[in-house]
Amino acid sequence: MSTPFDDRLYNLLPSIYRQCDSEVGEPLRALLAVIAEQVNAVEQDMTALYDNWFIETCADWVVPYIGELIGYRALHTAAVPAAQSAPRAAGRARILYPRRDVANTLRYRRRKGALSLLDDLATTVSGWPAHAVEFAGLIAATQSLKHPRPGRGGTADVRHAHTMERVNSVSDITAHLVDLRRPQSRYRTGRYSIAALGLFVWRLRSYPVIRSKAYCVEEVAPECFTFSVLGNDCPLFDAAADPGSARAQAAAARPVMLRRADVAMPDGRVEPRYYGAGRSFALWTDSEANAPIAVDKLVVADLSAWLAEPRSGTVAIDPETGRVAFARGEAPEHGLVVSYHYGFPADIGGGAYVRPMPSWVPPRASTTAGIAPVARYGVGSDGDFHTLQEALHAWHKDKPACAIIELMANEVYGDAVRIVLEAAQSLEIRAAAEICPVIRLLDLQANRPDFMAISGEARSRLVLDGLLVTGRGLQIKGELSQLTIRHCTLVPGWDVDRPVNPNEAQTSPSLSLVKTRTRVNIEHSILGPMVITSDDPEQEPLQVSISDSIVDARVARHEALGASDGGFAHAVLTIARCTVFGIVRVNAVSLAENCIFNDGIEVERIHLGCVRFCYVPARARTPRRYECQPDTAVAKLRGDERESARRRLIPMFNSTRYGTPTYCQLAQGCAPEIAQGADDESEMGVFHDLYQPQRMANLLARLDEYVPADADAGIIIAI
């Protein structure tokens, strides 16, 4: 096919010249097309130059220059590693030079000293919702009858649960004794002093799940449900409302974990502002109904032990555990459908968020008629098929060279999944934006395993994007060329509440590669153990690449990645910005960087590859290491100091259980060598790209500049 010319200059010539040019093969047209291409480039550069005059429209690289013109003081000055990719370097630059902070510099300087400024400042600098509190008003003091101050902290009402639950929180209204420790103390922070000012920040994000099926806890009672489709406890989070004032909008944007006292009114019923379609949570007893259950039928109860039994005609809600209970004998006939918000630190795993477009696009097959289009199969009420199985049958029947199956609803697909790709065939199974479909692989067949079986011939490729797979794992066989898993969750241990046997050698692998040459790429995902079975150790090892993901073996010192017999997996591993619970046993590691290997790593070929800026426990067998912990910290120590430093550097997490809001998030007490130990001074592990140390440093620097006179400010992590 001929390349189209840009004729914007050619069309300006008189027709006689164009006619003469066409008679000799149009060489002049080709020359002017080349010149027009350069004219377009100059024109675009001139247009971009005008846009770069303004902070709202300028390119990212111009932001520091505009900041220099207005005297903006740069915050974090760490250099970007040379090996960092362009997109990730740009993302990091946006953290170090916040566009909104540069744009609002002059306005903030005029408001310097105002308490309300700190809320806006924290959001623009760090991206975290924040709220400033002056602790002087919460110090116990005897008031004068001539000058009463009803807004000061009062005596705690121990009979009122709502008041007691708010103690030491952002909404505390009780009086406290004077605390002489400073809010920024490196040992133990204090709060309640005359000059103390606390800035509460929320680091978690609130993600919506729209009209998903609830899980019926039949082992307890048919009237008991959980909001989470996996059956685990899932604390509910508040959703952003639509209030009027800007300060109220900032308050509504905070990802607050709901408590029973917050949701309940004095009579025990649910506060209407939290309930309904588009709000924090809602319930439907009929998936086809538009109106949810009436709010006056809902009561707040403690269902942590399933002991509370609602009265007939009412429904009990427990926002702290994400549980629902109907009255005895009143379980919904057509099941329960729910909408709610859950919390998590970042866009990792299968979730209800907007995923970026994949970097890999299925190649279009060339035919005699030209380029074959990509076949698309929609699954859902707005699609062509109702189930994933129907779409797979149609795909097998049509046999297109390239195809995309898109799941368009928050449904649970319980059919057995068998995918067989022919030679040079490509398939992508993905979820629509802000949709989190669940593939539940049940124990349906007694005479064979119920894995999600995937096989393919030479040059075939498969992409899984945005899926949540539970009940079983994936099994890969055949000559499949490439498997890409993006933004997926292969539930560790197959089920959240499934008990594990510490004596078992293998604990429910999420991904099994059996006698295959498949190249595996895993990005922004959560999965359990990976098992690789090879029948010919003389062949080249498999290529396994994992980035920005969590690999969780669920049992300490068990294999997170290894062979079926407990030995070394016949694979070459490339891993970056990951958190691994369990032992990694592989043939070789080409590169491991900014990772946390919580239980260790053992490599067969230690002369190949490099491990850099990682946490690797003592006595691990690895290739050469560079700036790894605890090696770097204990290099100059001896005796008891060496052992004490090793214990101090063990990573600390807020939670290591999948399904909790703070899963794999580093705790505040984690050693700075881990929390700031990556090659760009960010944290090691899966949440590296959040750049939380840089955000915290930026926020502390701005607090010193903008806090009211003589105030002593500190940052308090609310959640």
Distances (CA, A) of 184 to 126, 129, 196, 675, 717: 18, 20, 10, 18, 12
User: What confidence category does residue 500 fall into, taking pLDDT thresholds of 50, 70 and 90?
Assistant: low
Mean pLDDT, rounded, for 97-101? 77
Higher pLDDT, 507 or 214: 214
pLDDT at 291 > cutoff 70: yes
CA separation for the pair 242, 252 (Å, rounded) = 8
Give the strand order in the sheet containing 337-344.
205-213, 337-344, 282-284
Find the angle CA(257)-CA(260)-CA(264) to the nearest 5 degrees.
120
pLDDT, one tens digit per residue, over 415-456 is 888 999 999 899 999 999 888 899 998 876 655 567 889 999
Enumerate residues 6+ apart whose C-beta is below 8 A from 298: 269, 270, 275, 283, 314, 315, 316, 317
DSSP summary character for residue 544: E
pLDDT, one tens digit per residue, over 302-315 is 999 998 889 999 99
CA separation for the pair 520, 573 (Å, rounded) = 10
Where is average pLDDT lowest: 18-32, 496-510, 532-546? 496-510
User: What confidence category does residue 577 fall into, taking pLDDT thresholds of 50, 70 and 90?
Assistant: very high
b/e sequence 234-265, b meaning 16+ C-beta within 10 Å: bbbbbbbeeeeeeeeebbebbbbbbbbbbbbe
Percent of the chain with pLDDT over 90: 42
pLDDT at 406 > cutoff 50: yes
- Write out the two tokens for 541: 């090892």
Residue 110 falls in which region: left (phi positive, over 0), alpha (psi -120 to 50) or beta = alpha
Spell out the alpha helix ranges (H) of 150-235: 161-165
Q: What was the pLDDT predicted at 269?
A: 92
Residue 508 falls in which region: left (phi positive, over 0), alpha (psi -120 to 50) or beta = left
Q: Which amino acid is at 5?
A: F
CA separation for the pair 616, 612 (Å, rounded) = 10
Give the strand order in the sheet containing 712-717.
130-134, 196-201, 712-717
DSSP string, 562-616: EETTSS-EEEEEEEES-EEESEEEEEEEEEEES-EESS-EEES-TTS-EEES-B-
Enumerate residues 6+ apart whose C-beta is below 8 A from 193: 135, 136, 139, 178, 179, 180, 181, 182, 712
pLDDT, one tens digit per residue, over 587-637 is 999 999 999 999 999 999 999 999 999 999 988 899 999 999 999 998 888
Q: What mean pLDDT is reported for the chain?
A: 85
Question: Angle at which helices 27-51 and 15-23 pack, to 10 degrees?
Answer: 130
CA separation for the pair 272, 270 (Å, rounded) = 6
pLDDT, one tens digit per residue, over 105-121 is 888 888 888 888 888 88
Number of alpha helices (DSSP H) and beta strands (DSSP E) in the chain:
15, 39
Distances (CA, A) of 391 to 68, 99, 338, 397, 509: 56, 45, 26, 10, 27
Enumerate residues 6+ apart whose C-beta is below 8 A from 71: 105
Strand pairing category for 583-593 and 610-612: parallel
Mean pLDDT, rounded, for 662-671? 93
User: What confidence category does residue 300 fall into, taking pLDDT thresholds of 50, 70 and 90?
Assistant: very high
- Cis-peptide, bond into residue 437, ω within 30° of zero: no
Stated length of the chain: 719
b/e sequence 84-113, b meaning 16+ C-beta within 10 Å: eeeebbeebeebbbbbebbbbbeebeeeee
What phi, psi does 176 have (nearest 5°)? -130, 155
Distances (CA, A) of 230 to 205, 215, 489, 594: 20, 7, 12, 31
Residue 712 has a CB neighbour count (10 Å cut-off) of 17
- Of 8, 12, 30, 34, the C-alpha closest to 21 is 30
Q: What was the pLDDT predicted at 360?
A: 45
Q: Which of 63-72, 499-508, 582-591 has the highest mean pLDDT?
A: 582-591
Secondary element (H or E) of residue 35: helix 27-51
Contact of 613 with 578, CB cutoff 8 Å: no
DSSP summary character for residue 280: S
pLDDT, one tens digit per residue, over 120-143 is 888 888 888 888 888 888 888 888
Q: What was the pLDDT predicted at 281?
A: 94
Distances (CA, A) of 504 to 205, 535, 564, 584, 656: 36, 23, 12, 17, 20
- Of 547, 548, 467, 479, the C-alpha closest to 510 is 467
Contact of 363 with 403, CB cutoff 8 Å: no
Q: What was the pLDDT predicted at 253?
A: 62
pLDDT, one tens digit per residue, over 224-259 is 999 999 999 999 998 854 433 344 444 456 788 898
Residue 8 has a CB neighbour count (10 Å cut-off) of 13
Half-sphere exposure of 64 (CA within 13 A, CB side): 11
pLDDT at 21 > cutoff 70: yes
Strand pairing category for 224-226 and 323-326: antiparallel
Cα 498 from chain centre: 24
pLDDT at 367 > cutoff 70: no
Q: What was the pLDDT predicted at 5?
A: 63
pLDDT, one tens digit per residue, over 172-200 is 888 888 888 888 877 788 888 888 888 89
Where is average pLDDT lowest: 617-626, 635-644, 647-656, 701-710? 701-710
Mean pLDDT, rounded, for 278-288? 86
Q: What was the pLDDT predicted at 712?
A: 85
Contact of 263 with 270, CB cutoff 8 Å: yes
3-state secondary structure of 263: helix
3-state secondary structure of 33: helix
Contact of 204 with 661, CB cutoff 8 Å: yes
pLDDT, one tens digit per residue, over 348-366 is 999 888 888 654 445 444 4
Q: What was the pLDDT predicted at 242?
A: 42
